[in-house]
A = this chain, B = another copy of it.
Amino acid sequence: MATGALWHEKYMWWDTRHAGVFIPAGGWIEPDEHVENPRTKRRLKNLLDACGLSEQLHWLTPRPATVDELCRVHDRAYVERMKALSDDDGGDAGELTPFGPGGFEIAALGAGGAIVAAEAVRDRVVDNAYAIIRPPGHHAERDRGRGFCMFGNAAIAARHLRAGGLSRIAIVDWDVHHGNGTQQAFWDDPSVLTVSLHQDRYYPHETGAAEERGEGAGHGSNINIPLPPGAGTGAYEYAFDRVVVPALERFRPEFVVVTSGFDSSALDPLGRQMLHSEGYRRLTRRMLDVAGSVAGGRLLGLHEGGYSPGYVPFCGLAVYEELSGIRTEVEDPFLDFLAAMGGQELAEHQKTLIDGLAAFVDDVPAA
């Protein structure tokens, strides 16, 4: 067997149009490249190809998600509105989510890619997998796109797995932004544990607080870990060791999804955190270990954010290497520099915060 990978050229054709950083051009914003553009994802794929790792991965082919599959998470009216806009000239899916003509088909292919990859992991076609999907999904809400996301890829895949018979799924989100869409989708659903590590009050500002823990039967099955800006590898590792891994050990999912943003890296233009490739590698190791011990090793990474065209490739490669157990000859040329940055070690105020969150583990519904 091998580690699965998923990619489709059409993902790169999702058109976020011109912007200043992430605000659409117009007014006092001179048109420029949108920060969510194909370069970051394509350059990761390019590095996999250039170094030869691609040849050792098992490549999966996405199919479009059906409207019914999309509607497991989204309102039908929203889905149809997106299709209509896409058939015309494109538009904005809601908040900060511009797209061009044909965008619906690309986003549906993204959600379908998450489904295909999930099936391959579930059915042991591959050991585990990482899907380089675009557009991202974790901000998309039931009835509107947000934050560059049209459809909730991970939530749709999780619902698909549930419909296919799995009863317990965990989604861990290490994107620098809050996984608000994923949280919303499973807010009162105890069968899907959602854990999001994110920069405190960044995006969306109004969600992601530690106090948001799910509702009704779902209480306790949503954990937010809002890290203060400037969190380094030490803080992330500590949060995994104290909260994320224990929560999964208690929940005992049959399947683990990581919604993976490389915008928690030290060179991201949006996030203020400081992970480097070795940090992502270590977090992946922890997820492999816990998935191995509770979920038969069923681990799937789904690509979310990450806006450094130069550094995303090395973070992504580290994750693929760790998933596959293959170490290529590539050495991250930024690693020594980033690892030596002040603030990589766990700071006292970070420790205090994380220790406080550890109590939530006890409220996670045990298997």
Residue numbers of A with Cβ under 8 A of B are 9-10, 12-13, 15, 17-32, 35, 39, 43, 46-47, 49-51, 89-92, 100-102, 199-203, 205, 226, 228-232, 266-270, 272-274, 307-311, 313, 330-331, 333-334, 337, 340-343, 347-349
Interfacial chain B residues near A12, Cβ < 8 Å: 30, 46
User: Shortest CB–CB separation between residue A348 and chain B, in angstroms?
Assistant: 7
Instruction: A18-B18, A30-B313 are known; give 8 further A-B pairs, CB within 8 A.
Output: A23-B334, A24-B101, A28-B50, A199-B342, A200-B343, A228-B347, A229-B343, A272-B343
Contact yes or no, B100 A18, CB < 8 A? yes
Contact yes or no, B49 A9, CB < 8 A? yes
Partner of A18, one of B15, B201, B226: B15
Interface centre among A19, A228, A229, A347 (most CB of B within 10 A): A229
User: Shortest CB–CB separation between residue A138 and chain B, in angstroms?
Assistant: 18
Partner of A26, one of B49, B102, B337: B102
Interfacial chain B residues near A342, Cβ < 8 Å: 199-202, 226, 228-229
User: Shortest CB–CB separation between residue A51 and chain B, in angstroms?
Assistant: 7
Interface centre among A43, A232, A343 (most CB of B within 10 A): A343
Of the A-B pairs whose beta carbons lie under 8 Å apart in the complex, a sample of 28, sorted by A's number, is A12-B30, A13-B31, A15-B25, A18-B18, A19-B310, A20-B309, A20-B310, A24-B101, A26-B101, A28-B51, A29-B310, A30-B47, A30-B50, A201-B340, A201-B342, A201-B343, A202-B341, A205-B337, A229-B229, A229-B232, A229-B274, A229-B342, A230-B231, A230-B343, A269-B269, A272-B343, A347-B349, A348-B349
Interfacial chain B residues near A337, Cβ < 8 Å: 203, 205
Interfacial chain B residues near A32, Cβ < 8 Å: 39, 43, 309-310
In the complex where A43-B30, A50-B30, A51-B28 touch, is A310 in contact with B35 (Cβ < 8 A)? yes
Q: How far is the CA of A193 from the CA of B308 in the complex (A)?
A: 36
Interfacial chain B residues near A101, Cβ < 8 Å: 24-27
Interfacial chain B residues near A26, Cβ < 8 Å: 15, 90, 100-102
Interface centre among A199, A267, A274, A311 (most CB of B within 10 A): A267
Closest to A37 in B: B31
Contact yes or no, A330 B28, CB < 8 A? yes
Q: How far is the CA of A100 from the CA of B31 in the complex (A)?
A: 9
